[in-house]
Amino acid sequence: MKSKLNLPADRVAYARALAERITAPVQDFIDGHSSVTVERATLRLAGADGANPDGVPVPNLVVDQIRASDPAALEDGATIRYVNALLKSGGTVQALNDRIAAGWDVMSVPLGDRKAIEAKAEELVAGTLKRVKDNRGFREDKLEQWKGKNNSPLLYLIVATGNIYEDVKQAAAAAEQGADVIAVIRTTAQSLLDYVPFGATTEGFGGTYATQENFRIMRAALDEVAEKQGRYIRLTNYASGLCMPEIAAMGAVERLDMMLNDSMYGILFRDINMYRTFVDQKFSRMINAYAGVIINTGEDNYLTTSDAYEKAYTVLASQFLNERFAFDAGLEARFQGLGHAFEMDPTIKNGFMYELAEAQMAREIFPEHPLKYMPPTKFMSGDIFKGVAMNTLFNFVSKATNQGIHLLGMLTEAIHTPFMMDRFLAVDNARYVMNYIDGFYDDIEFKQDGIVVTRAHQVLREAIEFMEHVEKTGMFDSIEKGLFAEVKRPKDGGKGFEGLVKKGPAYYNPFESGLKRELGLKR
């Protein structure tokens, strides 16, 4: 990629080196820990499924049984006990799940031969990894078959009625109207539930529950639309919150294509314990990496609590950090949808130039990444005509800087949940603008001492200064002091801290070791 901003390559490389040094101590902590949801995700990948009459999922029942029997027993991992119970019962995985759901305790039987347990676990690992690999192959074959049929950038639309069957209707309509990515937003506060509901759901509030059955239903519906239209429709959900790895596991099994997957979002904006969520993020990203799922990170959220002009450098710094965390989990650059947003106060003089500068800067610093660009929301006032104007400028910047994933802005933002017609108008506006300026990116150059170039250099410089401060302070202490998004979170506080698990000397997780082997990870 030819640079239009002439950003100093040595400073960009230095920023990446800073990110590696900042994240290294966090990686050391991650390596020595698991969590209840990492263990539940592993059980799901081994086949644990279903729920008891009270709706408690089988993976939760198993983990709770282990902890109730001996709080230290989970330090060996949950899979060893589940597979031991499978061997002792002599039945199928489904039969075991039914027994556990009916009240049988996996800790009621003594541990058998360790080698036999591990051999059976490896067999389960191989079966699940094959299913996930086949899903990835199917996606890649369809993308090749329908190459060039999607919009560029990909047009991303959200649906969320609370009822999965109504979501299917709205998602199909959005895809038929031109959307390339359908995101089913989760029901309000699901990120704070330390379990994943079971089965199809029809009563979400402000969104629809993320469940494996809901994933299956929506995947089938979008595949049907894709075959009719001759273009692949991507499905997105949210692998974040207290069940981050479990949702990633379900998504891999049901062939989701993108996942919102960023621990900083949970720490800062959902008050989830930082230690717990960094551990959860690593395992969830390993799953996504193997499944070929594009992750979307949440840097845009920083600009909801911080000023988008003054604190733009925090977005860039977080992108560098998220990139490093993703690489350490085996995610290639082409699967990293690093986030940013068009969120400056519209009254700022030359604000458009600053937005253009930051979008182009992100494109040049992360050339292989399918950057996810978020629309204006913070300053949407309910004036739909001004909203259309703001979204039009956003659409222009996105195409003019060659973004990868474009979340469509709604003219009715801040008024109500979008109607299908609102979504149609959003798609129509974006396609009009992007077609009309199709060659703009390749044709435009910037004045080297002008507003755009000067702003990009300024943000890079400020991001490096900020990261130098974070390195001296330490990542955990920096979060505690409120250096990110001006939100302070205590290290030993927040939701889910009690679910952190220190790995014991006999810790066993066949999916973790299997994924590391498949992804070529050294740690």
| CATH code where residue 230 lies | 3.20.20.440
Residue 351 belongs to what domain range? 150-454
Report the C-alpha gap between 461 and 191 in whole angstroms: 35
Same domain assignment for residues 253 and 383:
yes
Report the C-alpha gap between 176 and 424 in whole angstroms: 10
Report the C-alpha gap between 270 and 520 in whole angstroms: 33
Residue 216 lies in a domain: yes
Same domain assignment for residues 319 and 389:
yes
The mean pLDDT value for 286-312 works out to 95
Report the C-alpha gap between 159 and 417 in whole angstroms: 9
Q: What confidence tens digit (pLDDT) does each residue in 104-147 have? A: 999 999 999 999 999 999 999 999 999 999 999 999 999 999 99
Instruction: Report helix, strand or coil for 371.
Output: coil
Same domain assignment for residues 244 and 362:
yes
Q: What residues are labeled active site?
A: 265, 300, 372
Q: What confidence tens digit (pLDDT) does each residue in 223-253 have? A: 999 999 999 999 999 999 999 999 999 999 9
pLDDT at 414: 84
Report the C-alpha gap between 237 and 259 in whole angstroms: 5
Report the C-alpha gap between 77 and 507 in whole angstroms: 5
Neighbours of 205 (CB within 10 A): 12
Residue 494 lies in a domain: no
Residue 257 lies in a domain: yes
Neighbours of 174 (CB within 10 A): 29
Same domain assignment for residues 401 and 252:
yes
CA angle 514, 518, 519 (to 5 degrees): 115
- Cβ atoms of 150 and 232 within 8 Å: the answer is yes
Model confidence at 352: pLDDT above 80: yes
Q: What confidence tens digit (pLDDT) does each residue in 361-370 have? A: 999 999 999 9
pLDDT band at 48 (very low <50, low <70, confident <90, very high): very high
Report the C-alpha gap between 265 and 515 in whole angstroms: 25
